[in-house]
Amino acid sequence: MTVLRAWRSFDMRICAGFSPRGIAWFPAREALRIVQSAEPRGPFPEPNTAMTSFLKTTFLLGLMTGLLMLIGGILGGRGGVAIAFVFAAIMNFASYWFSDRMVLAAYHAQPLDASSAPELYSIVNELAHSAGIPMPRLFMIDSDTPNAFATGRNPKHAAVAVTRGIMRICTREELKGVIGHELSHVINRDILTSSIAATLAGAVMMLAYGARWGALLGGFGGRDEDERGGIIGLLAVSILAPIAASMIQLAISRTREYQADASGARLTHNPLLLASALRKLETANERVPLEAAGPATAHLFIVNPLSAGGISRLFSTHPPIEERIRRLENMAAGRSQ
């Protein structure tokens, strides 16, 4: 009954309680800010929608951490669970504090200001002011492939990066739609969420890789190995765990992309601006994928920077562009999803 009352009152101490004994590390202070940002603020989502999305994402992150601990348990018993949990906590903390610096450095992004990119600076400043957040730092990626992403653990430490290509092919209005989408990620703390999800997925895959080698070498030995499934258990984990981790990360990413599309459309007061930009970006990225992009950071971009043709589209962290455009057009027409 106590838990039920806390749930109904959206008591964020529940999130803090996950830390010592629960399933996922998630900063309680950040969780509180997420809920506060869900309050009615002009163009942003209704509180119930934002809270539902937040709870769903928190559950999926917990599921991912549980998977990581399961692998640790198979590899090392109770000690493996403890090691896996500590490993997840350390990786989460590092991702939370340093993800923006790491991803910007990975793409050799260069800082921009009002003198070097006046039009972009004007758009970002206008939308940030409308959203009630500080002006984020701006960066340019030297690539002709049109794309963009936002990073940073919260609005005070946010950064928006665009490629040279997107500045060339998008009109000012379309660029406004793109920036509205990215600032919505900042407002909704999606950068934090996606960074944690990517880190946990990577940790699961690394442990699964170790399990695969353990199986090939005949197991890790020890009297408790048969109880943990032996070589067959290691093989099963090495095959199934990466698939499960990828599917969970995909579900998180798609949920946040749809929400950012809707929030960005409300911020710019015109869903068709983003819809028009998405058409251009998808076509260009399918033709010339971003060379520097990798699977670990692909989820950050507004459209998938990797080649995703055929069956690989089923495992993309981005929702289908056609569905995103359909939802935006329905918003513009005042129709329900």
182 is annotated as an active-site residue: yes
Task: Specify whether the CB–CB gap between 276 and 177 falls below 8 A.
Answer: yes
Greatest mean pLDDT among 59-63, 226-230, 331-335: 331-335
More confident residue, 179 or 79: 179
Residue 294: per-residue pLDDT:
80
Whole-prediction pTM? 0.72
Average pLDDT of the chain? 76
| Catalytic-role residue among 30, 39, 174, 182 | 182
Q: Where are the alpha helices (DSSP H) in 170-314?
A: 172-187, 190-216, 230-268, 271-287
pLDDT tens column, 35-48: 444 443 444 444 45
At 53, is the pLDDT very low, low, confident or very high (cuts 50, 70, 90)?
low
Residue 16: per-residue pLDDT:
36
Q: How far apart are CA 136 and CA 157, in angstroms?
A: 7
Maximum Cα interatomic distance, the chain, rounded to a whole number of Å: 68
Beta-bridge partners for 138: 112, 160
Cα dihedral 169/171/173/179 (nearest 10): 40
Residue 161: name the closest of 111, 86, 127 by CA.
Answer: 111
pLDDT at 24 exceeding the cut of 50: no
pLDDT > 90 fraction of the chain, expressed in percent and rounded: 36
pLDDT tens column, 183-206: 999 998 887 777 677 667 766 766
pLDDT tens column, 66-84: 777 777 666 666 666 667 6
Q: Which residues contact 190 (CB under 8 A, 6 or more apart)?
A: 184, 256, 259, 260
Residue 170: per-residue pLDDT:
96
Task: Specify whether the CB–CB gap between 60 and 262 falls below 8 A.
Answer: no
Number of Cβ within 10 Å of residue 184's Cβ equals 27
What is the SS3 string spanning 120-155? Answer: HHHHHHHHHHHHCCCCCEEEEECCCCCCEEEECCCH
Q: Calculate the CA 280 to chain-centre distance.
A: 23
The mean per-residue pLDDT over the stretch 286-299 comes to: 82
More confident residue, 235 or 8: 235
- Residues belonging to the chain: 337
At 223, is the pLDDT very low, low, confident or very high (cuts 50, 70, 90)?
very low
Residue 136 has φ and ψ, to the nearest 5°, of -75, 160
pLDDT tens column, 114-150: 999 999 999 999 999 999 999 999 999 999 999 999 9
Residue 228: per-residue pLDDT:
47
Encoding tokens for residue 206?
A: 């690394």
pLDDT tens column, 293-308: 887 788 889 998 886 5
Number of Cα atoms under 13 Å in the Cβ half of residue 321: 20
At 98, is the pLDDT very low, low, confident or very high (cuts 50, 70, 90)?
confident
More confident residue, 22 or 55: 55
Q: How far apart are CA 263 and CA 69, in angstroms?
A: 35
Express the helix, strand and coil content of the chain in percent, nearest 5 each: 70, 5, 25
- Taking the CA atoms of the chain, what radius of gyration do you get in angstroms? 21
The mean per-residue pLDDT over the stretch 84-102 comes to: 75
Residue 28: per-residue pLDDT:
43
Q: How far apart are CA 90 and CA 85, in angstroms?
A: 9
Return the SS3 of 159: strand
